[in-house]
Amino acid sequence: MPAESTVLRYMTRFRCIAERCEDTCCSGLKVPVSESHWHRMRAAVVGSPEESEHLRQCVTLNPGGASSEHAFVQMRPDGLCPFLDTERLCSLQRRHGDAVLPDICATFPRVVTRRGEQLEVSGTLACPEVARLCLLEEDAVEPVPLATPSPHVSRPETARHIPEDPEDADTFHAETVRTAMLRLLHRREYPLGSRLAMLGQLAYGLDGFSPQETGSPLSEVLQRFEAPDILDAIHRDFAELALPGGPCVGLFTSVLKARMAANRGERFTTWARGMLQSLQLEEGGDSALGAAWQTYAERWHHLETQHGERVHRYFHNYAVHQLWRSPFSDSPSLLAYVFRLAFRVALLRLTLAGHPRVEELCREPSPTHEAREQLDRAAVETFQLVAKHVEQAPDFLSLAEGLVGTGRGEETLGKVLVFATF
Ligand code: SF4
C-alpha cells in the first residue's frame, strides 16, 4: 500500500469548466438523496413557496429504501436535472451552497478510495474535462502526494472503503499485485495488446492462491513476470494470434444499439449513430461485421502510422487509470478484472476508429496539427461518452459478466486474449 495518500496528477489540474462544458455532470445519472440531505434541502427552501413546490415535484421519495437512498431526483425526459438553470448551472448550489447538494452532486467527478489509512483520489472520465486531462498529458496518471486538506475530498465520509479480507488472497494481497500489474503496464516497449496479455497470464498464474500459501509462491509468480525472456515469449505468442474480429464487432454493435434505444440523450445518440454509420454497421449481418472489422483494422493502422504516440498515450493512460480507480473487489476474480479491462479497451478502440472525425482524418496523406487536434477531440468525446453511458450500464456489465463466466481458468484467459487483439 502507498505510504501516503495520493492523487493522480491530472486531478491536481482539474477545475470544473461549468458553462463552457460540452456536457452537464448530472445528465443521464441517477441521483439518490440521503435522508439528511433531503432535510437540508427542505430547510433551505422553506422561506420560498415556489422553491418548496419545485422541490416537492422534482424529488421522489423512496419509502422503505436505505437512508442513503431516501429519495431520488426525478430527471427530466431529456435526461437533464430539473434543478439546472437557464445557464445549465445547478440552481440549488447557486442559491444555497454545496452543503445542500446530494453526495453524488457534491463529489462528482472525483473518486475517493480509502485503503487502510490512505486515501487515493482520481476522477471519472464521465466528465469531459477529466477525460481531457487524463488522456492527453504524458504525466497525467502519475500518483502524487495528496495535499491536506484537499479540495478534492470535501466529503471524506463518502470515500469508498476497500476491505482487506485475510481469507481472500485477491483482496489481501491486492496492493502487491496491483504494483506488479502497474509495472507490467508501464513496459511501453511492448504494445498495449501484449501488455494486456501479460496481465492476463499473471492473473491466471495467481489464480487459486490461498493467503496461507502465499509469501514465497506469490513472489515467485510476480518475479517470473519481471523476466525479459518470459515477457518476450508472451509478446511473441500473442503477436502471432490472428482472430476473426467480426463476432466481437457484432457484440459491441448490439451494446451500442441497446444504449441508443435506452434514450441516453442527444450527444450520445449522435455520437453512437455517427460511429455505426461510419463503419456501416447500422444494418448488421455477418458480411457487414467482417467488412467493419476490415475497415477498423485499416483505420487503426493509419492512426498508428501517423499518430501512434498520441493514440498509444490515450490507451496507456486509460489502462493505468483503471488500475488506480477500480479496485479488484469489483470483479469476481483477478482474471475477470483483467478481462473487463481488455473488453473495455477493445470497445474504445473500435468506437474511436469508428468516429466520423477519425474517418475523415484517415483520408489525410500525412499528419497535420489540425488532424491531431481532431483526433484529440474525437478521443475525449469517445472515452467520455462510453464512460458515462456504456461502461456502467447494467446490460453492458451483464454482457461482460456472461462472457467471463466463473472468471477463472483457461477459457477466461482465452477471452482476455481475444479482446486484447483489438
Ligand atoms: S461534467 Fe465536469 S466540467 Fe462539466 S460541469 Fe460537470 S464537473 Fe464541470
Q: Is 18 in the pocket of ligand 1 (CB under 6 A)?
A: yes
Q: Which three cell numbers stand for residue 287?
A: 458480411
Q: Which three cell numbers stand for residue 347?
A: 470497445
Q: Which three cell numbers stand for residue 183?
A: 509495472
Beta strands 160-162; 143-145: pairing state: unpaired
Q: What single-letter amino acid sits at 178?
A: R
Q: What single-letter amino acid sits at 92?
A: L
Centroid of ligand 1 to alpha carbon of 18 (angstroms): 6
Q: Is 231 in the pocket of ligand 1 (CB under 6 A)?
A: no
pLDDT for the residue numbered 276: 97
pLDDT for the residue numbered 389: 94
pLDDT for the residue numbered 408: 80
Q: Is 28 left (phi over 0), alpha (psi -120 to 50) or beta?
A: left
Letter string b/e over residues 353-372, b meaning 16 or more CB atoms within 10 A of that residue's CB: bbbebbbebbeeeebeeebe
Centroid of ligand 1 to alpha carbon of 180 (angstroms): 33
Q: Is 109 in the pocket of ligand 1 (CB under 6 A)?
A: yes
Q: What is the DSSP letter of 215?
A: S
Q: Is 385 in the pocket of ligand 1 (CB under 6 A)?
A: no
Q: Is 23 in the pocket of ligand 1 (CB under 6 A)?
A: yes
Q: Is 129 in the pocket of ligand 1 (CB under 6 A)?
A: yes
Distance CA 300, CA 324 (A): 27
Q: Which three cell numbers stand for residue 86?
A: 437557464
pLDDT for the residue numbered 304: 95
- Least Cα distance to 150 among 326, 324, 6 occurs for 6
Distance CA 350, CA 169 (A): 34
Beta strands 160-162; 110-115: pairing state: parallel
Q: ∠ CA(120), CA(124), CA(125), 5° rounding?
A: 135
Q: Which three cell numbers stand for residue 293?
A: 472489422
Centroid of ligand 1 to alpha carbon of 242 (angstroms): 41
N residues, the chain: 422
Centroid of ligand 1 to alpha carbon of 195 (angstroms): 32
Q: Is 89 in the pocket of ligand 1 (CB under 6 A)?
A: no
- Among protein residues, the one whose CA lies closest to atom 6 of ligand 1: 25
Q: What is the pTM of this model?
A: 0.93
Q: Over the chain (422 residues), what is each successive 10-residue block's mean pLDDT? A: 84 93 86 94 93 94 92 89 89 92 94 92 97 98 93 90 72 87 97 98 83 68 94 96 88 94 88 96 85 96 96 98 92 92 97 97 91 97 97 90 84 94 90
Strand partners, 84: 90
Centroid of ligand 1 to alpha carbon of 159 (angstroms): 20
- Among protein residues, the one whose CA lies closest to atom 5 of ligand 1: 18
